[in-house]
Amino acid sequence: MSEEQQAAVKPAAPAPAQSTYKKGIVRTLKGLVIKIQFDEDMPDLNEMLYVDNENKSPLLVSALSHGDMAVCLNIGGDYSIQKGDKVTRSGHSLEIPVGEEMIGRVWDAMGRPIDGKPQLDQAVLDKMIKRPIFSPNFQETGLTNRPDEVLDTGLKVLDFFTPFVKGRKIGIVGGAGVGKTVLTMEIINNVAEGSGAISMFAGIGERIREGHELYKTLGDNDLLKTTAMFFGQMNENPVQRSLIGLAAITLAEYFRDDLKKDVLLFADNMYRYIQAKNEVSTIVDQTPAEGGYQPTVFSDVKTFQDRLATNVNGSITALQTIYVPADDLSDPAVQMISHELDSTIVLSRAVAAQGIRPAVDILASKSSLLTPEVVGERHYSLATRATAILQKYESLKGIIAIIGESELSAEDRDDYNKAKALIEFFKQRFNVMEKVTGVPGEHMTREQTLDGVEEIIGKADGSPAEPKAAEGKPAPAGEPAKPAAEAEAEQKPADAPASDKPEEPAARAEKTPEKQEPAKQDK
């Protein structure tokens, strides 16, 4: 448990209109740090205080010193506060209202609306439960016996190599501009749509424009009615940015524990949370530790990640983006966050530069969920073999640069070509980019992805896959040829799993394409 959690004030009744506590007095102001002297009734750590001014400026107690001094953070960034101002204790920690009423709206870390629409009616607000954002509401986060349920994202490369499983954590890791946000939007679009699940979105320290775009995308796809958004973007002060994710989790916990729901939580960007905590740490004069990060960086990561949990009530499936400073994956904060993930999707600049979208570095990505127990034998075996072929491709590339492709053995050349076909196959158009590119996105079921891979690399016993009818949306014109889409025949493989319900083939053809060299023995 972090210091923050231990010190968090117990949830209390809302502050009485007339506080009976003795007031404090503003003594020093330095940027966002304000020291307040209390002769009596010292406030608690993480307690909310309000300045007796026109704005009722909110302050958050960050540390206590010298027995009578509360070191506070100017959470609202209100610069009208002056020395000598009186300050009133609220008697409770930073709380937000929780309830269905929060859905469809955009909130700040204090639970104030920032979508330009009015605050909820006071009568509604008064009835709503208030929860402190610092401490988990429900302590029992033990794993349940619920079976792993794979969620399809409709994106081939993700569903195949880094599966999404309900109640688990998935991260999109990469430097600036490699496509983390766009990929997150596509996943929200594909996973939230049709699932009816409640979604939380936390915009942490990223561009404000992206918030507007997300709001619009959700509206266009009729997803606002199931989504609550929290924004503390880069225009906000570091105090807000460091708290916004916790506010989103607090509401997620309410839906999980009180309403027994499965919740999706999207956070863009988790690294910015650590960065904001670092900024706050610097302004309250803490000495940096590891790699220039705050001394509390480990507990900061833990505080957040431990709450993204599944328990007996319901689940929180978390997708988070992780910005990689200077493209350095060994950055300590990136490492700490990555360590918490079940599936890690690495996006790379080198891959993006080749025009591959999503720009997934397949060999750098990993998932502890890619096991026969979770994804099934067929998927597991295909993924293992496809990974081996892609690994071989990497080493063959070096050889080819020196001796040329013609010098490869027949078997190496075959694997080399299979790898190239796989890379081509995993390229995919996004639905959320349709308005930019004018080309519709593709949505593939996991079965279609498995069939597609099998057509390229053959079956485990070395025999070629029976070609299947092309299903789903065909590749748009101009898209590079996808080997899988070329195979069109109305056949089911004998080993098709029971869950594979028959679908009407989009196109039928009698021919059985001889795409694969038959019976090349895999090693």
Q: What is the DSSP letter of 379?
A: H
Considering the rule CB under 5 A, would residue 320 count as an interface residue with Mg ion? Answer: no
What's the CA gap between 364 and 10, in Å, rounded?
A: 43
- Which of 23, 149, 193, 207 is an active site residue? 207
What's the CA gap between 404 and 155, in Å, rounded?
A: 34
CB 303 to ligand ADP: min, Å: 24
The token pair that represents 356 in the structure block: 């591959």
Considering the rule CB under 6 A, would residue 433 count as an interface residue with ligand ADP? Answer: yes
What's the CA gap between 247 and 202, in Å, rounded?
A: 9
22 is catalytic: no
CB 80 to Mg ion: min, Å: 33
CB 207 to ligand ADP: min, Å: 8
CB 354 to ligand ADP: min, Å: 13
Cis check for the bond before 480: say yes or no (omega within 30 of 0): no
The residues near 198 (Cβ < 8 Å, ≥ 6 apart) are 103, 226, 227, 228, 255, 261, 262, 263, 264
Select the span of 34-42, 155-163, 178-186, 287-295 touching ligand ADP (CB under 6 A): 178-186
**CB nearer to ligand ADP: pick between 146 and 216:** 216
Residue 52 near residue 23 (C-beta atoms within 8 A)? yes
CB 269 to ligand ADP: min, Å: 7
180 is catalytic: yes
| Single-letter amino acid code for the residue at 58 | P
The residues near 482 (Cβ < 8 Å, ≥ 6 apart) are 424, 425, 427, 452, 475
The residues near 151 (Cβ < 8 Å, ≥ 6 apart) are 164, 165, 166, 191, 195, 317
Q: Are strands 33-37 and 24-30 parallel, antiparallel or unpaired?
A: antiparallel
What's the CA gap between 171 and 168, in Å, rounded?
A: 10
**CB nearer to ligand ADP: pick between 207 and 520:** 207
Considering the rule CB under 5 A, would residue 242 count as an interface residue with Mg ion? Answer: no
The token pair that represents 79 in the structure block: 């610069």
Considering the rule CB under 6 A, would residue 215 count as an interface residue with ligand ADP? Answer: no
**CB nearer to ligand ADP: pick between 181 and 387:** 181
Considering the rule CB under 6 A, would residue 176 count as an interface residue with ligand ADP? Answer: yes
Alpha helices in 306-445 (DSSP H): 332-339, 349-353, 372-375, 377-403, 410-425, 434-437
What's the CA gap between 73 and 434, in Å, rounded?
A: 43
The H-or-E segment that residue 298 falls in is helix 297-305
CB 428 to ligand ADP: min, Å: 8
**CB nearer to ligand ADP: pick between 10 and 209:** 209
CB 188 to Mg ion: min, Å: 13
How many angstroms separate the Cα of 272 from the Cα of each of 14, 116, 278?
31, 25, 9
CB 82 to ligand ADP: min, Å: 40
176 binds, among ligand ADP, Mg ion, none (CB under 5 to 8 A by kind): ligand ADP
Considering the rule CB under 6 A, would residue 178 count as an interface residue with ligand ADP? Answer: yes
Considering the rule CB under 5 A, would residue 233 count as an interface residue with Mg ion? Answer: no
**CB nearer to Mg ion: pick between 181 and 237:** 181
Considering the rule CB under 5 A, would residue 184 count as an interface residue with Mg ion? Answer: no
**CB nearer to Mg ion: pick between 206 and 279:** 206
Q: How far apart are the first and last CA of the chain?
A: 49
- Which of 35, 166, 169, 180 is an active site residue? 180
**CB nearer to ligand ADP: pick between 437 and 512:** 437
Residue choice 2, 90, 162, 181 for contact with ligand ADP (CB under 6 A)? 181
Considering the rule CB under 5 A, would residue 46 count as an interface residue with Mg ion? Answer: no
- Site map 229..268 versus ligand ADP, x via CB under 6 A: ----------------------------------------
CB 277 to ligand ADP: min, Å: 20
Considering the rule CB under 6 A, would residue 154 count as an interface residue with ligand ADP? Answer: no
Residue 171 near residue 341 (C-beta atoms within 8 A)? yes
Residue choice 87, 430, 443, 447 for contact with ligand ADP (CB under 6 A)? 430
86 is catalytic: no
Residue choice 130, 180, 385, 459 for contact with ligand ADP (CB under 6 A)? 180
The H-or-E segment that residue 170 falls in is strand 169-174
Considering the rule CB under 6 A, would residue 174 count as an interface residue with ligand ADP? Answer: yes
Considering the rule CB under 5 A, would residue 181 count as an interface residue with Mg ion? Answer: yes
**CB nearer to ligand ADP: pick between 189 and 250:** 189
How many angstroms separate the Cα of 139 from the Cα of each of 2, 53, 128, 380?
14, 38, 21, 35
| Single-letter amino acid code for the residue at 521 | Q
97 binds, among ligand ADP, Mg ion, none (CB under 5 to 8 A by kind): none
Considering the rule CB under 6 A, would residue 329 count as an interface residue with ligand ADP? Answer: no
Residue choice 136, 179, 232, 245 for contact with ligand ADP (CB under 6 A)? 179
What's the CA gap between 240 and 77, in Å, rounded?
A: 9
How many angstroms separate the Cα of 227 from the Cα of each of 122, 170, 193, 205?
22, 19, 11, 20
- Site map 346..365 versus ligand ADP, x via CB under 6 A: -----------xx-------
The token pair that represents 5 in the structure block: 């959690």
Kindly list the residues in this chain that would bind Mg ion in the complex (CB under 5 A): 180-181
Kindly list the residues in this chain that would bind ligand ADP in the complex (CB under 6 A): 174, 176-182, 357-358, 430, 433
Q: Which residues are catalytic?
A: 180, 206-207
